[in-house]
Structure 1
């Protein structure tokens, strides 16, 4: 039976996540004990890159580097990383300056197994078996907060979600 996009459940933040299937070179899949997460936003220049950078930093600090496959993508990727996003992440010791926005693909979603869509704008049509979670994030510009202060608030909100996800995936 073919699933329609609307049939794919979107998981709440507190639900348990099933580890991803890992694609091997011959194209087959095998169960992997290494979970994966693909962070998605529209442009893949700010929020999803921030989430991926923060997850990598959190894993490294926990001595768990490489225990979760971390990636990011955009539904309409831009051409570069948002400089202010990179700057406020650097303040926390995370570096995304070498990253490049990339498009979200069914293969990337399958490889991760878990797709975290950040914000309300990005929409994904996940393949069967992929778990989707949406993080509604704070948008300080709705309150008239702009510039660096806005980006720091966005970063801190995403960081809270990333810590919670890291704890769920590592438990």
Structure 2
């Protein structure tokens, strides 16, 4: 991470759905905008699941992402305190000690949702990530 880089965190309880989608879209946005050296991405959950939800793997595959090998992971408070912006997915309220901008995206959970609803959630995630990257790009 360079001095001018921005560290983003995408967090939910299980790190098996919304935060995985957000991370994948953020990785794509970072690459498409040429911000690989300027944006660091952290993802995790407060109580991670064993695997990414099947519906999320399927629906993200439709968008060209292979999440089948990704594994939910626990994220530490220290990792999140090191972030400039942390986006929670609507399932947790974080209280961080650092001067971190915490934003709750208030997204529904795709796990257990029908495919149409899960696709709507995926689109909300995509739009939120795109808007976040628009904001970041404008700050450089």
Whether TM exceeds 0.5 here: the answer is yes
Structure 1 residue 59 and structure 2 residue 30: aligned?
Answer: yes
Q: Partner of 1:37 in structure 2?
A: 8
Q: Describe the superposition over 1:64-121 as per-residue Cα deviations: whole angstroms up to 9, x where unpaired.
A: 33431112111211111112112211211223223221122122112322211111x2
Where do 1:1-171 residues align within 5 Å? 32-119=3-90, 121-138=91-108, 146-171=113-138
Q: What is the aligned length? A: 138
Q: Which runs of 5+ in 2 are unaligned?
A: none
RMSD: 2.2
Partner SS, residue 112 of structure 1: coil
Offset of residue 159 of structure 1: 0.6
- In the superposition, relative to structure 1, how do residues 34 and 153 fare at CA in structure 2: closer, same or farther (>3 Å)? same
Q: Residues 46 and 85 of structure 1 are in contact (CA less than 8 Å); yes or no, is this contact kept in structure 2?
A: yes
Distance in 2 (alpha carbons) for counterparts of 1:74 and 1:53: 15
Provide the secondary structure at the position in 2 that maps to 1:104: coil
When residues 118 and 137 of structure 1 are mapped into structure 2, their CA distance, relative to the original with a 3 A threshold, is: same
Give me the whole-angstrom Cα distance separating, in 2, the residues matched to 1:47 and 1:124.
Answer: 16
Greater radius of gyration (CA): 1
SS of structure 2 residue aligned to 1:115:
strand
Runs (5+) with no aligned partner, structure 1? 1-21, 23-30
